[in-house]
A and B are shown apart, each in its own frame.
Chain A
Amino acid sequence: MVGDGLTISREEEEEEEERSLAPLPSSGRHHRRKSSASAASRDGFPNPAHVRHLSRTETERLASSQRELADSNSRIVFIGDPGGSDPRFEIPRNSIRTAKYSPITFLPRNLFEQFRRLSYIYFLAIVILNQLPQLAVFGRGASALPLAFVLLVTAVKDAYEDWRRHRSDRIENNRAASVLDPQSGRFLSKRWKEARVGEVLKVLANESIPCDMVLLATSDPTGVAYIQTINLDGESNLKTRYAKQETMARPPGEDHPVDSAGVIRCEQPNRNIYGFLGNMEVDGKRVSLGPANIILRGCELKNTAWVIGVAVYTGSETKVMLNSSGAPSKRSRLETRMNRETLLLSAILIALCSVVAICNGIWLGNHSDDLELAQFFRKRDYSDGDDKKYNYSGIGTQVFFAFLMSVIVFQIMIPISLYISMELVRLGQAYFMVRDANLYDESSNSRFQCRALNINEDLGQIKYVFSDKTGTLTENKMEFQCASIRGVDYSGGRVSSRDNGEAHYILAAGKHILKPKMSVKTDPELVRLLKNKGDTEQGKRAREFFLALACCNTIVPLVVDTSDPKQKLIDYQGESPDEQALAYAAASYGFVLIERTSGHIIIDILGNRQRYDVLGLHEFDSDRKRMSVIVCGPDKTINLFVKGADNSMFGIIQNKVDLSMIDATKANLHAYSSLGLRTLVVGMRELSRKEFEEWQSAYENANTSLMGRGKLLRAVASNVERELHILGASGIEDKLQEGVPEAIESMRQAGIKVWVLTGDKQETAISIGFSCKLLTEAMTQIVINCNSEESCRNKLQDAVAMYRKFAVISPDPFENALTGTGSTKVSMALIIDGISLVYILKTKLEEELFKVATACDVVLCCRVAPLQKAGIVSLIKSRTEDMTLAIGDGANDVSMIQTADVGIGISGQEGRQAVMASDFAMGQFRFLVPLLLVHGHWNYQRMAYMILYNFYRNAVFVFILFWYVLYTAYTLTTAITEWSTVLYSIVYTALPTIVVGVLDKDLSRKTLMKYPQLYRSGQRDERYNLKLFTLTMMDAVWQSVATFYIPYLAYRQSTVDGSSLGDLWILAVVILVNIHLATDVFRWYWITHVAVWGCIVATLICVIIIDCIWTLPGYWAIFKIMGTGLFWLCLLGVIVAGMLPHFSVKALKEYLMPSDIQIAREMDKFRRMNAATMEIQMNRFSTLQL
């Protein structure tokens, strides 16, 4: 659910931003790929079908709202007058309710939700059938017990979770807010839940914001307020919000009576957290409101003493509440596979029932003459004098009844307890994954998170990993490395020692010393150049370059206290790490941004404080791929500074400038990106008065226009951003995360294909590819970067021809890619860019691309938009059975994470959007290795075994019942008491499977990490497939035959009564299936011992208790039969005879056809003995692998 919501809100975001009136940026994310988060659809990239569908409906809705806020569709809020607010709509108060149930609705609602599972309906139907007198096979209580048990367990779990939600709701609702009292004009304390739309609230620094409010005034004279949105979108950077100057002047409160306040007209509540559209009428003036004027519930006020605002959305209508929904629900591969086997079992069930029903009919037909008088049948009822049939209504009906009754008796062929066991096992597995110290990230202090609880086992079957680059493979901690100014490369800082450029500029501000929080290594030559006031062209350009870096951004400098009272740090808060890095770089070179208000910035240039008025700012957008700012310096010159991606910048440069400089810059850029640096080009233009005025009027027009504001602003920007002087380019390093090359190597060995999807340039992507060992020199690179469909086709055909050529040498490239053993294998790497993907993904070429891509070991996609990422994932997902995993950290990865079978979010620098959409979240990319190779492998193995075992153990039992029915004239009598029948799957045999499902480990963590190849068993579906299922079922049939017929033949023609024989059967089958489990357990912990043997003891106790109830026919039977030698001989015989085939086949298979896992187990066990030889072996093999 979250997924869909996020996609939508991202869509909306873009639309809304376009209409934003904000004079300063609020959510521009510059130069990050994610800033084009939703640009894809506009760019015409193909979307995965479901996303497209959703966004279309959403766009339609948006299209309608894009018209001027219609009165009918808007909310009217009278400032300070809660009663007067829009009477047409019912507006909730500010109380929230995340709890699903109330004490009254709990039962019906919870039951309703549980019964949405089809299997529960099946069991319910059976319980109901059993209530009919003709069909009452079990007693009423006994028949409902399993279902009731399962429902109860789930209900208790839900109730507990809901109670916790209730508690947090209560705490939340009772927090204190200060609300303006219209009568006294003072702010009074009220509880959050009492706040209403229209009321004026005051929030102090570091307080949470109680509801969505439009800012009226702030403690800052310019009307700025800083908020932290970590709870909303997880981004820890401060965001700026503004109060309108019109209301700033006289905030409602003591001095100003409320009745003079205005009216706000705004959108109806919606879930778009980045958008807000409205206007405000104050003193007859109409002011437009945008997302920069609203502060949302869930945010915290920072660095601002107070703000006053008017509530516009409250309680459940706040954007944060509208956005809150659970983790996406996916279904694991194993569970989907399991459904196939469940259908097979249903077929077996129906077959068994049909056999019983038909035999019943034949028996009745053959004996129809006999039954009148047969004492055990008594077809006629003479007791009331009149001659009627007792409980008999013709063969047809009897057959029908027999069928239904056999469905009731054999119902556990479909294991009801399996579903609850699976949930418990996944819970246990999740517990261990969360608690795993190896998945704990020290730097972000975050544990592993299991957000989706039902796809644990999918982690063991991953074939493709789609990885984001920035923040996933890299740390997303940007560091300025080098600059190219006027074509001259200054990268001395890269090589010089650390303390060289340390803190050159410490500024005295009053009695404090101000210092940027971080400094970068500076290039000494460049520093000299800047300090040297000589007006060389190079020096001038260099200064303009750093001035551009210092002012062409949306960074907010914050002054932070340090432990040293004389020293204060300047902390650059911004939404883009690149901008932060550039601002810190400028500061290190002496261009320190000190203050930013809504209208101007103050920059300390080499010791001189100078004020620049910010006249206009064109935000970054994915079409232009650049941002620009127009500032008026102290010398009253008006300058346009632009920074952006190289390809967008070189298109708008002045043609007259010397080309050699451009070429040198391009060469430098190429060199930077080859080093894996992120590059930006900076340019400027001085605007003449006339130009400025033209721009200004256009800008004003665009800003105040009510329709298509975004488009107009873009046009204005494009119009002014032309004929630039190129100042230079910067190179920013994004460091690789720890352990990434090793992790990628491990995954490669594990047969997992790693695809990197990045928004970076091709050169950057390739160099990162090399540095993280994704690409090696030995690989043949296939590069596809074309500008037309035709050239794409040619390139692809070449690629196909190439891999065919290799295919001739090594017969099956797919197979080789799979096992990595190809003798003459030439590994290939496909590098493809976003533009080519546009041409390919929407045409027939998709198939070709798929062929090439799957034949390659490595695929690097650069310059891709978020929805293209999803498109690539679904390219693989729709064409293969292989499991896909997407890992990313940013909002641009959300669509990919949701499309893939397993989505993993990195809880890193880029906020929590990816985490919110993910199934699992963790701190580091390298955790993928233990997660997949160790936990994934274990989870898959455990779950696969548990499912098979559950099928098997219930089938054994059902078959035993079935054999007995053949000797009861097909009348569905059970020798085993109904209570034992019911308890069999939920008590007698349930616990061991859960314990084994949670705890058993086929291999140790060490071995699994050492031999990543072992992971392939999951990719090959080795632990759960139709063959295994068939074998297990055959085993089940044999075991049921042994269990039934050994006692049957031993007690034939004896005085044994039904209950005694039933007790023997139930004990035999419970011991047998538990021993079966015991032979398959890999590791015996004391818990396993307790569970397995304890269950047998528990069964014995239960059987004894049941046989101590004198009203049951089986009273004392267990004691009687346990006193005979034959009982014990039968029991032993059943167990040994039942286990013989399983044990022999297992021993034979493990010896003659050992799986990799079996060998690794032996190595695990006999490691000490083999240690020496193994080392030699492994060395040999590792060299062979290269």
Chain B
Amino acid sequence: MNNSAAGTSSGSGDVSAPRRNSNRPKYSRFTQQELPACKPILTPRWVISVFTLIGVIFIPIGIAALRASTNVVEIVKRYDADCIPGNNTKAYKVAYIQDKNIDKTCNITLRVPKDMDPPIYVYYQLDNFYQNHRRYVKSRNDAQLKDRGKANDTSGCDPEDASNGSPIVPCGLIAWSLFNDTYNFSIGNQNLTVNKRGISWKSDRDHKFGNDVFPRNFQNGTLIGGASLDENTPLSQQEDLIVWMRTAALPTFRKSYGKIEQNLRENDTITVTIKNNYNTYSFSGKKKLVLSTSSWLGGKNDFIGITYLTIGGLCFFLAIAFTGVYLVKPRKLGDPSYLSWNRNPSGR
């Protein structure tokens, strides 16, 4: 385009012999921009049908979601404050939790509000724990977890990359801060077994954590962040770790602890023996124990049902409102008298 001014070099071909062959553009529907096309227009009929259709779809879904959510039975018990004797200052709590010599066993009781059918999921919930904190999420090394030969590969793991001169497996803040409270459930004298197998993702067990990678030099540092790991169990079987290392999206999150595979009757009283080891006191985090059944929608959450009902209702309302508008102010579509230059101000 810009070298035609040079003339001699490029322009000569087409300028000096203008009539030798025609420059007429070849006709095609594409080049003339005449491809067949669909021209949708928001006619009143369309608008009303769209809104009605959304309403018709959304309201049943909303009702179903709400029902599913109400059918879920959920027991949530905060225990971080209860498991420290007395009502003390933060400093005391931190000192208490850090003291290795104190037995931190703590008993709480839960009342089952409604019959719960198995599987009943046991979660622990942490509030205010920023698993999505930038310096936290990055502090891991996935190669090391998968491959036995890459134990020395601790890049990105600092400050928990090495201890006493040798690399830590699994390295990084995430693994280091593994949650280490434990729960034992019993109804009356009868123990409730908690099945801790299968709480992590199969894909993680199979592909992300090696079955020949064993914890090494873990929690040997000055500061203990959380649980220790059994050095004889490969990482692929350390399900608590696998669950923990799928970092949560939000600062309030639940993690699977296990499953109870038996019925709980209404008004049963469950005694939970907690080993309250995990330090959330230093940053005022809360710890909660959650028992919950599940539905097709997951756990107890009315939000999605309410949202769907709201949207559906709104759409019905809009459908009616638009019908009203169309009736009150009818306008013939494509009527040229509405064109601005035809709407004569002086009404001639």
Contacts and interface: CB of A to CB of B under 8 A. Distances in A.
Interface string B273-305: 000000100111100000000001111010110
Contacts of A1130: 304
A326 to B, nearest CB: 3
Interface string A729-742: 00000000000000
Interface centre among B10, B299, B326, B334 (most CB of A within 10 A): B334
Given A327-B2, A435-B32, A1159 B334 contact: yes
Interface string B289-324: 000000011110101100110010011001000100
Give chain B's interface residue range (CB within 8 Å of chain A): 35 or more
A648 B150 CA distance: 97
A1178 interface: yes
Contact of B339 (A232, A321, A1013, A1146): A1013
A819 B8 contact: no
Interface in A686-727: none
Contacts of A1083: 37-39
B41 A1162 contact: yes
Nearest to A234: B15
B296 A1125 contact: yes
Given A821-B344, A1110-B207, A383 B283 contact: no
Contacts of A1060: 249
A968 B133 contact: yes
A1115 B204 contact: yes
A971 B163 CA distance: 27
B102 interface: no
B342 A1181 contact: yes
A232 B15 CA distance: 11
B190 interface: no
Contacts of B35: 999, 1085-1087
B56 interface: no
B22 interface: yes
B176 interface: yes
A1126 interface: yes
B78 interface: no
Given A297-B8, A1055-B254, A1058-B247, A1113 B140 contact: yes
Given A973-B137, A1110-B142, A375 B203 contact: no
Interface in B325-348: 325-326, 329, 331, 333-342, 344-346, 348
Contacts of A10: none
A1165 B299 CA distance: 50
Interface string B40-61: 1110100100100010001001
B221 interface: yes
Interface string A1165-1176: 111011000100
A1017 to B, nearest CB: 9
B240 interface: no
A1140 B314 contact: yes
B341 A375 contact: no
B133 A971 contact: yes
B6 A1133 contact: no
Contact of B322 (A973, A1125, A1147): A1147
B3 interface: yes
Nearest to A297: B8
Interface string B124-145: 0100011111111100101100
B159 A1057 contact: no
Contacts of B24: 437, 440, 442, 445, 447
A324 interface: yes
Residue from A297, A434, A435 whose CB has the most chain B CB atoms within 10 Å: A435
A1156 interface: yes
A1177 interface: yes
A436 B25 contact: yes
Contacts of A1159: 334-336, 338-339
A98 B3 contact: yes
A835 to B, nearest CB: 35
A119 B178 CA distance: 45
A231 B5 CA distance: 8
Which of B176, B322, B335 has the most A CB atoms < 10 Å from its CB?
Answer: B335
A916 B5 contact: yes
A820 B341 contact: yes
A924 interface: no
A823 B343 CA distance: 12
A165 B9 CA distance: 8
Output the residue of A440, A1151, A1166 with the most chain B CB within 10 A: A1151
Interface stretch (A561-569, A768-776, A1023-1031, A1042-1050): A1042-1050
Nearest to B298: A1126
Interface in A415-471: 431-432, 434-437, 440, 442, 444-447, 450-451, 453
Contact of A1136 (B23, B54, B146, B339): B54
A81 interface: no
A1160 B334 CA distance: 6
What band does the interface of chain A fall in when counting residues whose beta carbon is under 8 Å from B? 35 or more
Nearest to B226: A375
A1126 B249 contact: no
B333 A1162 contact: yes
A1083 B159 CA distance: 58
A186 B217 CA distance: 93
Contact of A1177 (B1, B50, B160, B337): B337
Nearest to A5: B5
A617 interface: no
B161 interface: yes
Contacts of A129: none
Given A325-B5, A823-B348, A1156 B339 contact: yes
Given A383-B162, A1046-B307, A445 B19 contact: yes
Nearest to A1110: B207
Interface string B50-76: 100010001001000100000000000
Contacts of A321: 6
Interface in A365-387: 367, 370-378, 380-383, 385
B177 interface: yes
B192 interface: no
30 contacts: A96-B6, A98-B3, A231-B12, A382-B223, A445-B18, A445-B19, A445-B22, A821-B345, A967-B251, A968-B133, A971-B135, A973-B133, A999-B33, A1016-B340, A1052-B303, A1054-B253, A1054-B299, A1054-B301, A1055-B123, A1056-B253, A1057-B248, A1087-B35, A1136-B58, A1151-B47, A1152-B331, A1161-B39, A1165-B41, A1165-B334, A1170-B334, A1181-B341
10 nearest CB pairs, A to B: A326-B2, A375-B177, A1162-B334, A971-B134, A1116-B203, A231-B7, A373-B282, A324-B6, A370-B283, A381-B159
Interface of A: 2, 96, 98, 164-165, 168-169, 171-172, 208, 230-232, 234, 297-298, 300, 320-321, 323-327, 367, 370-378, 380-383, 385, 390-391, 431-432, 434-437, 440, 442, 444-447, 450-451, 453, 819-821, 823, 912, 916, 967-969, 971-973, 975, 999, 1001, 1005, 1011, 1013, 1016, 1046, 1048-1062, 1081-1087, 1110-1113, 1115-1116, 1119-1120, 1124-1126, 1129-1130, 1133, 1136-1137, 1140, 1143-1144, 1146-1148, 1150-1152, 1154, 1156, 1159-1167, 1169-1170, 1174, 1177-1178, 1181, 1184
Given A382-B223, A916-B5, A1055-B253, 19 more contacts: A231-B7, A231-B16, A375-B136, A378-B135, A823-B348, A912-B15, A999-B35, A1005-B33, A1046-B304, A1058-B132, A1058-B247, A1058-B249, A1084-B37, A1133-B308, A1136-B54, A1152-B329, A1156-B339, A1159-B336, A1166-B333
Interface of B: 1-12, 15-16, 18-19, 22-27, 31-33, 35-42, 44, 47, 50, 54, 58, 61, 65, 94, 123, 125, 129-137, 140, 142-143, 146, 158-163, 173, 176-177, 201, 203-204, 207-208, 221-223, 225-226, 246-256, 279, 282-285, 296-299, 301, 303-304, 307-308, 311, 314-315, 318, 322, 325-326, 329, 331, 333-342, 344-346, 348
